[in-house]
Amino acid sequence: ALAEKGNYRHFMEKEIHEQPEVIARTLTHYVDPFRLVVRPFESIDFKQYDRILIVACGTAGYAGQVAGYWIEQIAGMPVRNEVASEFRYRDPAVSKRDLALFISQSGETADTLAAMRFCKDRGLTTAVVVNAAHSTMAREADIALPTLAGPEIGVASTKAFTCQLAALAMIAINAGRARGHIDANREKELVTGLLEAPRDVSKALEMEDEAKRIAGELTQSRSVLYLGRGVYYPLAQEGALKLKEISYLHAEAYAAGELKHGPIALIEENLPVVVVAPHDHLWDKTMSTMQEVAARGARVILVTDSAGLAACDVKREDVILLPDCAPIASPIVAAVAIQLLAYHAAVYKGTDVDQPRNLAKSVTVE
């Protein structure tokens, strides 16, 4: 069936708003809602592997980076994140005790597919988190782990990204249980937190007007800096990518702790700095970074939750207040804020939101 925009102005806007529903659908695929456990993957024995190699491109790669933090924390299993185009050409050292995990919305991205074939040739087990169920990667991987986002038409990925995060969280929990790194209570807590994500995302969508106002101001600048730590570092990168892709504003993301190693030289009066920082164990660190940029006149746009807001004593220009949610759901919820900022910045600038210049939805040739 041909996808329809319905009452929305762009597919991207529609796809942002579909997230509560498609995240719920994806979670339901993996969770036993009565026992509050993740259904085991019959085909993967996580004890058999020493490491997970995660390979992808673009937005899928940022989902993979979040998963890297999760898998190390929840399963105590080493992860290596790879950009497919680098991985495939450098004759990487891999082992049969690596589980090779690919992430792709389309299942057709040339570099990711080539990386998968390379791993297959080397005898590795290959798994793919994939949205297009009948794609080449879904067919060729040993194990296909679906995201149920439905067709994504907007070139800038939104709902596919949050569904990838949902599926990847399921992998982390499964690995954690299989390796005895988490107990049944912890699993239940994680699953319960994730099952609330669709509702949390709906609440996050309620701050759209605020995001729209802030987006309007972003378009007055030539450049925007995004900062985050831990799981929010890939979110900052995804935020900068979204903004570049569709609004054509220059944006750059840094791990907050790296600021002092260079990018702080860029901070000048009124430079917008989007700080993605729901409250967590790294909060104090992120706040001191925020202090440094604010002291140099940057316009801090803080994406946080109520605990972060209460703990923040740095001068900030604007706040996007996210609903309180479980830590495991928080990157999924924070994604909504950065999507809305980019979307509305693009609408202000009058760009072709669904088909930005020079970009393709899936890059099937090099």
319 is a site residue for ligand G6P (CB under 6 A): no
Is 14 considered catalytic here? no
- Residues 106, 126, 286, 289: which binds ligand G6P (CB under 6 A)? 106
Helix (H, G, I), strand (E, B) or coil at 32: strand
How far is the C-alpha of 301 from the C-alpha of 265, rounded, in Å? Answer: 19
Stretch that binds ligand G6P, among 252-260, 282-290, 302-310, 357-365 (CB under 6 A): 357-365
First CA to last CA distance, the chain: 29
125 is a site residue for ligand G6P (CB under 6 A): no
108 or 187: CB nearest ligand G6P: 108
Q: How far is CA 147 from CA 111, 115, 246, in A?
A: 20, 20, 24
List the interface residues with ligand G6P, window 75-104 (CB under 6 A). Answer: 104
As given in the structure block, the two tokens for residue 205 are 């969508």
Q: How far is the CB of 339 from ligand G6P (least distance, A)?
A: 12
How far is the C-alpha of 111 from the C-alpha of 171, rounded, in Å? Answer: 23
242 or 299: CB nearest ligand G6P: 242
105 is a site residue for ligand G6P (CB under 6 A): yes
CA neighbor of 348 nearest in space, from 213, 245, 216, 209: 216
Helix (H, G, I), strand (E, B) or coil at 53: strand
Stretch that binds ligand G6P, among 152-160, 196-204, 318-326, 345-353 (CB under 6 A): 152-160
- Residues 81, 85, 289, 362: which binds ligand G6P (CB under 6 A)? 362
Classify the C-alpha dihedral 12-112-116-70 as positive or negative. Answer: negative
For residue 140, count CB atoms less than 10 angstroms from its CB and return exposed for 0-12, middle for 13-18, buried for 19 or more. Answer: middle
359 is a site residue for ligand G6P (CB under 6 A): yes
- Determine which helix (DSSP H) or strand (DSSP E) holds 255, and give its type and residue range: strand 250-255
How far is the C-alpha of 66 from the C-alpha of 107, rounded, in Å? Answer: 20
Sequence-ordered list of residues with C-beta below 8 angstroms from that of 170, at least 6 positions apart, any chain: 27, 30, 31, 38, 145, 194
65 or 105: CB nearest ligand G6P: 105
- Residues 125, 126, 157, 174: which binds ligand G6P (CB under 6 A)? 157
363 is a site residue for ligand G6P (CB under 6 A): yes
Stretch that binds ligand G6P, among 153-161, 180-188, 305-313, 322-330 (CB under 6 A): 153-161
- Dump strand ranges (E) for 74-202: 79-83, 98-104, 125-130, 143-146
247 or 289: CB nearest ligand G6P: 247
- Residues 18, 49, 58, 334: which binds ligand G6P (CB under 6 A)? 58
- Residues 155, 214, 277, 322: which binds ligand G6P (CB under 6 A)? 155
106 or 126: CB nearest ligand G6P: 106
Residues with catalytic function: 361
User: Contact residues for ligand G6P (CB under 6 A)?
Assistant: 57-60, 104-106, 109, 112, 155-157, 359, 361-363
